[in-house]
Amino acid sequence: VFIFAYAEYNLGDDLFIKILLDRYPKHNFYLVAEQDYNNIFENYDNITIVPRLKNSLFKRGWNFIQRKLFANEGLKIIQNVIAKEHAHYFKGMDAIVVIGGSLFQQYRIKPYYYEMEIFKNISSYSNQKAIFYLGCNFGPFVDQNYVEQFRAIFSKALDVSFRDQKSFDLFKDLKNVRFNSDIVYTLKNQEEENQNFSDNKSVGFSIVSPLKEVREFDRITYVEKYTELINSYISDQYIVKLFSFCKKEGDEAIINEIYDRLGHANVQKIFYEGDIELFLNEFKSVEEIYSGRFHAMILGMMNSQKIFPVIYSKKMTNILDDIDYKGETIDLFNFQNLNIETTRKQIFENHYNITGEKQKANLHFAKLDEFFGKKVIES
């Protein structure tokens, strides 16, 4: 089985892969990633890390130039490169499992979209291989044509299981489309343990750096407000942990920028570098979490931590709506208006109830279970 995932040392996506491997230990999976991924999953004998084709990065750089200069010619080159790569990667595979969160995003209209061309090519294998889309959300998007092109792509899959109601509603006319809770709710040994926070008076911050393409953003004010908030906890003798979920997405850079402005007593930087268990243990050691990353919010709820969501994407509010979250959030782009005194009180008032979410999340795998002949869906 070929796994199509965002293999870039992003904790959330690596958790998806881990959950897949744990669920199907007797089946062989193949993932295109850097060879360092062998270290992340060194305790698993059901995954093979496939090296990226050597000339892919060069060709993608040339594709960028082509896209800027010659749209039609660039598109043809991209399609040819993708087709050759997939012919190489998919040879001998029985199924393709696309697993991830925000895989389908459109921030502005372009002549074509590299990621869409990848999924178009994957769909061309629908007569030869079973194709599954698991745990995804759709959007943001800015025009209906983008949606309709993905409608054609999804229609050729054996199963499309979204993680939120709003994504499902866009494609609910397709009989193969479903939605269930986020896959990470199925992570073992998280919510099952009675939570005793190892660090008294402790707070964690999952901090994100907004992409430039999303919106104009006042980075300086954002950093200053986070610095002010964190210093208020330091002044009250809290242990503070700053969590980076993904270096490539800019988490480490923004954390280092904030860290350099802080008094470093009782402040720890916890960067995800591939050791999943180490990171999860550090994360669940704190009582309060300001969750900038989507899966910081999910893990915080699974750990029964006090959470305050810092919203950078509608996918976060969509999930909160689905679980009928009772509490406050703040939009990342309004973060400079955060009232620190009020927020520190509010984090203890925010209420969530995820009873039953694990069972719902397990249903993402219902069709894949059938494909593998697995008769019982785990409770």
pLDDT of residue 270: 98
C-alpha span between 315 and 267 (Å, rounded): 30
- Structure tokens that stand for 10 in this block: 């992003």
- Structure tokens that stand for 329 in this block: 């959030």
pLDDT of residue 265: 75
pLDDT of residue 212: 54
| pTM confidence score | 0.91
The model's pLDDT over 312-325, given as tens digits with 9 standing for 90+, comes to: 888 899 999 999 89
- Structure tokens that stand for 241 in this block: 């942990």
Distance of CA 261 to the CA centre of its chain: 29
Q: Reduced to 3 DSSP states, what percent helix, strand and coil does the chain have, rounded to the nearest 5?
A: 45, 20, 40
pLDDT of residue 56: 55
C-alpha span between 68 and 149 (Å, rounded): 22
Long-range contacts of 295-298 (CB under 8 A, 24+ apart): 295/11, 295/12, 295/15, 295/182, 295/184, 295/245, 296/204, 296/206, 296/243, 296/245, 298/182, 298/184, 298/185
C-alpha span between 43 and 59 (Å, rounded): 34
pLDDT of residue 379: 39
Closest CA to 220 of 185, 258, 250, 194: 258
pLDDT of residue 213: 47
> Across the 379 residues of the chain, what is the mean pLDDT of every consecutive 10-residue run?
96 98 96 95 97 63 56 79 93 96 91 92 96 96 96 98 96 97 87 57 94 68 96 95 96 96 88 97 97 97 96 91 92 93 96 92 97 64
The model's pLDDT over 32-80, given as tens digits with 9 standing for 90+, comes to: 999 999 999 999 999 999 988 765 554 555 556 555 555 667 788 888 8
Three-class DSSP category at 136: strand
Neighbour tally for 335: CB within 10 Å: 21
For each of the domains in the chain, give its residue range(s) and CATH number, in order of start. 2-52+90-183+358-372 (3.40.50), 202-353 (3.40.50.2000)
With tokens 């999952």, the residue in question is 206
